[in-house]
Amino acid sequence: MLLVKVGGGATINLPGIARDLASLDEPALVVHGANACRDELAQRLGQPTQTVTSVSGVSSVLTDQDALDILTMAYAGLVNKRFVQLCQQEGVNAVGLTGLDGGLVRGRRNAGIRVNDNGKKRIVRDHSGKPESINEELLRWLLDAGYTPLLTVPILDEDNRAVSTENDSIVALLQKTLGARRVIHLIEAPGLLEDRDDPSSVVASLRLSELEARSRTTRGRLQRKLMALATMTASGCDEIVIADGRSESPLGGALSGEGTRIRA
């Protein structure tokens, strides 16, 4: 089984990925984002995506109730169903699901973010959380029956309420639970870059130990991604490929040596 994470950027080639899924010779489980669509919808609705910066300097999206509704419309509604449709057009029998459906991804709501509010520290609590368990039975049945699950946020928290989470964390948990040996991350870059401003500086391959060292020297989203990747390689994943989701054949490229390969 191939585990594929598809980024939510505006330039990700979803039709190309749907075509690639049709020519795979193994079952695939896909987790996708939709942040560009969410941000655009939020803008149109006059409720732009807000971020907060914790006292330790980490910036995160703040998911209040309105933001959660917008996220659900963009991720579970528009992008998920567009992606399902593209797959169906290529003969891939995709089933779009969120972590809520069938209790597919359950987790815990975050305790809150400690922020500096005009010199006073306070806790901001939003509708975000961390995934902790997977409904393996439902996923395995779908995969065995020939369906291609397309998964996205939100997920369920401990009170069965919807919370947002990092898709990278869902992918890491799926890898561990299902024992996936190979994980592909399709992003809006040709791979992991030595210099983020130089697209030709793709790191062709990396060892787990190097990945951990890098995650200590980066910040923000990339740091969280690298840390999620490090978890996977530590739990039995043979290979992680980070490749260009914008290319003509994103999965094909990833499977034929393009991008960055991380090996345990």
| Contact residues: a copy of itself, CB under 8 A | 41, 44-45, 69, 72-78, 80-82, 84-85, 88-89, 93-98, 100-103, 137-138, 141, 145, 147, 154, 156, 159-162
Which one, 47 or 235, has the nearer CB to a copy of itself?
A: 47
CA 233 – CA 191 distance, rounded (Å): 17
d(CA 44, CA 56): 32
Measured from the Cβ of residue 257, the count of other Cβ atoms closer than 10 Å reads 10
Closest approach of a copy of itself to the CB of residue 32, in Å: 14
Classify residue 102 by its DSSP letter: G
State which residue, 6 or 76, has the beta carbon closest to a copy of itself: 76
Cβ 98 to a copy of itself, closest distance in Å?
Answer: 6
Amino acid, single-letter form, for residue 41: L
Of 139 and 226, which CB lies nearer to a copy of itself in the complex structure? Answer: 139
Nearer to a copy of itself, 105 or 232 (CB): 105
> To the nearest whole angstrom, how small is the minimum distance from the Cβ of residue 25 to a copy of itself?
21
Task: Identify the DSSP state of 156.
Answer: E
Minimum distance, C-beta of residue 147 to a copy of itself, in the bound complex (Å): 6
- Which lies closer to a copy of itself via its Cβ, residue 78 or residue 227? 78
Residue 21 C-beta: closest distance to a copy of itself, Å: 14
Strands 239-244 and 260-263: antiparallel
| 8 A C-beta contact, residue 131 and residue 176 | no
Structure tokens at 128: 């975000």
| Nearest alpha-carbon partner for 35 in 65, 2, 5, 3 | 5
Q: 134-147 as b/e, with b when 16 or more CB fall inside 10 Å?
A: bbeebbeebbeeeb
